[in-house]
């Protein structure tokens, strides 16, 4: 049994804490907002984000980061990607055990264009650098929480750390594979959210299976192009954090990113959609970062470019699709 701190009490944080508790670990769940923490502590359930899932009474719930992490042998960061740096800075000021850090966030930071493990390596003490790993893959909290069979992948800088996380999280309904390509695992888990917004746009416009199949396939192609340019392995994108997560997020009723695209295609503005949502759609911020990475590294990413223009330049979705379909002809396999 290990002492584990789960940082972030949204749907994924709650699902993770329940999973780890069921595996026999001593879990503390940290929620930064005092009001939300008090409500969660009282009701043992988040009726908005994960209704029907009860947090075990043995799981401590707190808003005190120091007490949550003080004796933790492992920390699972179930945070919105744009808060990872801030929490990392807070953690760096605390005296906690020589913990393993498991990042669960999927995103690329705006402005710096850093992946989550890069942010954590910058902010946390150097002795923890090789103890950072990312767990990713097709894993909606709503399904993990009710023990629907799920497979994910964990990638880190040391094989023994990845294997330790594998052993800690794995059970009869949650299967964990290891991978040495943390660049590819993080990029796959982040960039698929951009393509999922495009999938939602297609759904909102009433397009069919042909369109969705084409979008997923060509979306994967541009994810691979950028990934290889940034040092990832091509084969990683055929795995759980690549194709697996991409397909799941593009078709799922639980996908927040697909929902954003769908609502925009039906006439709502981005600000209207985000205001009405109770959970974070990571793909919105990641679209900015992905587009900037494509420009910086001169990688052709036409779907990402059009999603960026629809979200942030008010481009009509019909026009975006027309431009994608009328691009110059070329071979399917290139560059």
Contact 225, 195 (CB under 8 A): no
pLDDT for residue 280: 79
Specify the DSSP class assigned to residue 322. Answer: H
As given in the structure block, the two tokens for residue 89 are 């800075």
Across 171-192, average pLDDT: 98
The CB density around residue 227, as the number of other CB atoms within 10 Å, is 25
Return the CATH architecture of domain 183-325.
Answer: Orthogonal Bundle (1.10)
Query: Alpha-carbon distance 303 to 218, whole Å?
Result: 8
For CATH 1.10.1040.10, the residue range(s) in the chain are 183-325
Across 10-22, average pLDDT: 97
Q: What are residue 132's DSSP bridge partners? A: 101
**Of the candidates 58, 52, 56, 46, which has an alpha carbon nearest to the alpha carbon of residue 9?**
46
pLDDT for residue 302 is more than 80: yes
- Residue given tokens 């223009």 in the structure block: 309
Q: What is the pLDDT of residues 43-81, one digit of tens each?
A: 999 999 999 999 999 999 999 999 999 899 999 999 999
Q: What is the pLDDT of residues 233-276, one digit of tens each?
A: 999 999 999 999 999 999 999 999 999 999 999 999 999 999 98
Query: Alpha-carbon distance 278 to 35, whole Å?
Result: 16
Across 184-204, average pLDDT: 97
DSSP E strands in the chain: the ranges are 3-7, 26-30, 60-62, 74-77, 100-103, 132-136, 150-156, 174-179
**333 compared with 306, residue with greater pLDDT:** 306
Q: What is the pLDDT of residues 89-130, one digit of tens each?
A: 999 999 777 899 999 999 999 999 999 999 999 999 999 999
Q: Could you confirm whether 192 is annotated as catalytic?
A: yes
As given in the structure block, the two tokens for residue 270 are 């981005």
> Average per-residue pLDDT in the chain?
96
Identify the active-site residue in 192, 285, 288, 309. Answer: 192
pLDDT for residue 335: 61
pLDDT for residue 221: 97
pTM of the model: 0.96
CATH fold for domain 3-180 = Rossmann fold (3.40.50)
Return phi, psi of residue 7, to 5°: -100, 115
As given in the structure block, the two tokens for residue 84 are 């990872």
Residue 172, C-beta contacts closer than 8 angstroms, at least 6 positions apart: none
pLDDT for residue 39: 96
């Amino acid at each position: 049994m290990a002492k584990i701190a789960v940082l972030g009490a949204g749907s994924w944080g709650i699902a993770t804490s329940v999973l780890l508790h069921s595996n026999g670990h001593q879990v503390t769940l940290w929620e930064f907002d005092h009001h939300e923490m008090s409500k969660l502590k009282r009701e043992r359930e988040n009726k908005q984000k994960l209704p029907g899932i009860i947090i075990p009474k043995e799981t401590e719930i707190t808003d005190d980061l120091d007490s949550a992490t003080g004796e933790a042998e492992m920390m699972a960061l179930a945070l919105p990607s744009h808060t990872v740096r801030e929490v990392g800075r807070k953690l760096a000021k605390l005296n906690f055990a020589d913990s393993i850090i498991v990042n669960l966030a999927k995103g690329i930071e705006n402005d710096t264009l850093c992946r989550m493990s890069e942010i954590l390596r910058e902010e946390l003490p150097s002795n923890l650098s090789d103890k950072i790993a990312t767990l990713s893959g097709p894993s909606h909290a709503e399904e993990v929480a009710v023990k629907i069979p799920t497979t994910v992948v964990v990638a880190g800088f040391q094989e023994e750390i990845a294997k330790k996380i594998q052993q800690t999280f794995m059970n009869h309904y949650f299967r964990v594979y290891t991978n040495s390509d943390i660049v590819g695992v993080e990029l796959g888990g982040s960039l698929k959210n951009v393509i999922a917004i495009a999938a939602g746009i297609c759904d909102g416009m009433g397009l069919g299976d042909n369109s969705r199949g084409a979008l997923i396939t060509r979306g994967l192609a541009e994810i691979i192009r950028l990934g290889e340019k940034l040092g990832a392995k091509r084969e990683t994108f055929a795995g759980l954090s690549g194709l697996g997560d991409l397909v799941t997020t593009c078709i799922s009723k639980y996908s927040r990113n697909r929902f954003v695209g769908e609502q925009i295609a039906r006439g709502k503005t981005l600000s209207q959609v985000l205001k009405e949502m109770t959970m974070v759609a990571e793909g919105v911020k990641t679209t900015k970062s992905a587009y900037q990475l494509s420009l910086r590294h001169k990688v052709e990413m036409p779907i990402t470019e059009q999603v960026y223009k629809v979200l942030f330049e008010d481009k009509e979705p019909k026009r975006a699709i027309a431009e994608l379909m009328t691009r110059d002809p070329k071979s399917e396999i290139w560059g």
